[in-house]
Chain A
């Protein structure tokens, strides 16, 4: 697969802080890419460079194989910033039309797309309403529609689910999957790991302006696994004596969680337990959640919100 976006050694320093400090990553065409990081890690600054709002101090951005051209390429990008909003007093149809035309659609094209999307998201009756009359969830939906209306190649969503109820969140989630299936690439920025785990193929973790993790969700979990397994028994297994193969790290009713010692394999555990005459009904590996990994990596960095000082 071709990379739609390649970011090389990107740097952006503000007056007193290194907002983005030498970050590189590639994003495959058609993938759902998660950009994670605590609040104030530099995600927004990074996204603003990718969307042409900021110019990087150093480094290069390659979009669809060519050098990123902030003026002409932004019409192929749809960006929903975290701090988002709409004109409160403008009616919704006109607003969608205006935003679509700013992205380079002709009036007729824009009308057609708006009708399609409004129908799809069950918003047809909203046309003459004003944003100030919409609920937060409704305006969020509208915001999403205006972001993807012009069928951008690259869709950047910064915290797209904040403020959405579960019904609307899953509606938008389905749309994200569908868009990715149809060939759009999605960058999904958030600090909520649960969402990422579910949706993303590939993630990077940003902290204090630097990339500290990069890989597929599966790979990352493998890298951070602690060889923990959960074993379910038919009945209370009683006391399992300490042995060379594993250590018990917890019990949960009829289940026990154990950590396999080095040089041993899951197979050895089963053999040991079966040898004790215990009846096993389930056996599976416990992979760390992204949340655990995230906390483990970010924790201990002094005040995650602070950037590194320039002269540090």
Chain B
């Protein structure tokens, strides 16, 4: 029907052409990424390149010598005949960027090892120095205990446990952590999509009602066409926005390494990454994550995401449209009326947070089948492997739910948009529902 086409076109074009759309679609992700980039850049940049570090080693931890690998840009200089207090004022003038002070006794009670600097030391430099000190201390203690450091290295254990899932397709690499994160993100994303674009539909309907254009339009097109056109048009705006975001993200991901080459150098530096103070990730684990990502059912996830995105959106948009149609001018009223629609949405979110921890619990299974919560909860379960029958049932129920709720809400919508200046009660809405058309 080309009337729906026209309505979709209008809903889509007026929104996409708006300045605010451009702003949120293009500038927001750039701002977010730039924000993180700046944070990262600040934390790793500055003195990290070529540090001249003055070391006052009162405890004689290093025996006057610090091993520096070739790629290490920092250089260490031992100083003598100074105290922390006396040298603190001088190191900058003598051309040092940092001043490392190691007191005679360096346990927590009697005094700590300190790095003096003019500005905050980057985490990478700090981690590097800490690592060197810890190695030196370990070596000293081993010698004191009469243990050969080489033998100790052989004894030290660093064992990882792997989890394999015995699904029909043979063994899969353990992916608990990765699956957890991806599920959670996908669930939140769907939740936000439903909320943001659902509200957009509601506001659009309210606009039509308060502007009194609804009656003008329904003398040309059926209310149902108007409602469906709006829902699809705004859905298309959402898809456009996501497509632009994905493209922008990918471009930025390609560009960032060129802008901040140091960052990736540092990240790939195992010495820094493996430091326990820094991050619980070592190169071995990085590989596991990447392998985990590869072993995830990516194609299935993407397809499910698209399906639940569209299905969930259509269902909730219909509900939000109905709410928008019964709201009179009062904004507070909208908040009251929208509450019953928000409930299942929030419920879905809560079940999803449980489902990522225990994907096969009864609650999670129920939540992923019930059409009002399934878009969110199923995305939370999908990475853990969901039986095919559950997925099929969930999808079928979602489609049925969408048809049912659209039919139901169209009845409310049809009456609601033409009723002005009157507060509509739940009882009246119920009457509209049961009334024969």
Contacts and interface: CB of A to CB of B under 8 A. Distances in A.
A74 B222 CA distance: 10
A8 B208 CA distance: 33
A102 B418 contact: no
A87 B211 contact: yes
B221 A102 contact: yes
A86 B437 CA distance: 28
A99 B219 CA distance: 10
Interface in A3-34: 15
Given A77-B219, A85-B216, A101 B211 contact: no
Contacts of B18: 89
Interface residues of B, number: 25
Nearest to A150: B220
Interface string B1-33: 001001100100010001000000000000000
Nearest to A146: B216
Interface string B214-231: 011111111000000000
A84 B431 contact: no
A99 B218 CA distance: 11
Contact of B418 (A48, A55, A71, A146): A48
B14 A52 contact: no
Contact of A74 (B212, B213, B219): B219
Contact of B212 (A48, A77, A84): A84
Interface string A87-131: 111100000001101110000000000000000000000000000
A83 B215 contact: yes
B220 A55 contact: no
> Could you say which of A53, A55, A74, A88 has the most chain B C-beta atoms within 10 Å of its C-beta?
A53
Nearest to A51: B219
Interface string A67-90: 000010011010111011111111
Given A55-B437, A89-B14, A99 B418 contact: no
B182 to A, nearest CB: 39
Give the interface size bracket for A toward B. Answer: 20 to 34
A77 B218 CA distance: 12
B264 interface: no
Contacts of A53: 215, 218-219, 418
A85 B417 CA distance: 13
Given A98-B10, A101-B6, A84 B220 contact: no
Nearest to B3: A102
Given A15-B431, A98-B10, A103 B215 contact: no
Nearest to A147: B216
A38 B418 CA distance: 20
A47 to B, nearest CB: 9
B213 A85 contact: yes
B220 A74 contact: yes
A55 B437 CA distance: 8
Contacts, number: 63
A79 B211 CA distance: 16
A52 B219 contact: yes
A300 B339 CA distance: 46
B165 to A, nearest CB: 53
Nearest to A48: B418
Nearest to B427: A15
Contacts of B3: 102
B152 interface: no
Given A55-B437, A83-B420, A87-B14, A102 B212 contact: no
A84 B14 contact: no
B216 A98 contact: no
Contacts of A80: 216
Contact of B220 (A83, A89, A103, A143): A103
Contact of B14 (A79, A90, A99, A103): A90
Interface in A45-73: 48, 51-53, 55, 71
Nearest to A16: B431
Nearest to B432: A15
Contact of B216 (A15, A48, A90, A99): A99
A102 B211 contact: no
A98 B14 CA distance: 11
Interface in B203-252: 207-208, 211-213, 215-222
Nearest to B431: A15
A46 to B, nearest CB: 14
Contacts of B215: 53, 81, 83-84
Contacts of B208: 87
In the complex, which of the residues A15, A79, A85 has the most CB atoms of chain B within 10 Å of its own CB atom?
Answer: A85
A86 B211 contact: yes
A146 B219 CA distance: 12
Contacts of B10: 90, 98
A89 B6 CA distance: 18
Given A48-B418, A53-B418, A90-B14, A85 B211 contact: yes
A53 B217 CA distance: 10
Nearest to B217: A102
Contacts of B217: 99, 102
Nearest to A53: B218
Nearest to B220: A102
Nearest to B420: A83
A102 to B, nearest CB: 4
Most buried by B among A55, A83, A146: A83
Max chain A C-beta neighbours (<10 A), residue from B10, B221, B420: B10
A131 to B, nearest CB: 8
A77 B10 CA distance: 22
Contacts of A102: 3, 6-7, 217, 220-221
A102 B211 CA distance: 18
Nearest to B9: A98
A83 B6 contact: no
A101 B217 CA distance: 11
Contacts of B431: 15
Interface of B: 3, 6-7, 10, 14, 18, 207-208, 211-213, 215-222, 418, 420, 428, 431, 435, 437
Given A83-B212, A83-B420, 20 more contacts: A15-B431, A48-B418, A51-B219, A53-B219, A55-B437, A74-B220, A77-B219, A79-B216, A79-B219, A84-B215, A85-B212, A86-B213, A88-B207, A88-B211, A89-B14, A90-B10, A90-B14, A98-B6, A99-B217, A102-B6
12 contacts: A52-B219, A53-B418, A71-B222, A74-B219, A81-B215, A85-B213, A87-B207, A87-B213, A88-B207, A98-B6, A102-B6, A102-B220
Per CB-CB distance, the 5 closest pairs between chain A and chain B, nearest first, are A85-B212, A79-B219, A102-B220, A85-B211, A81-B215
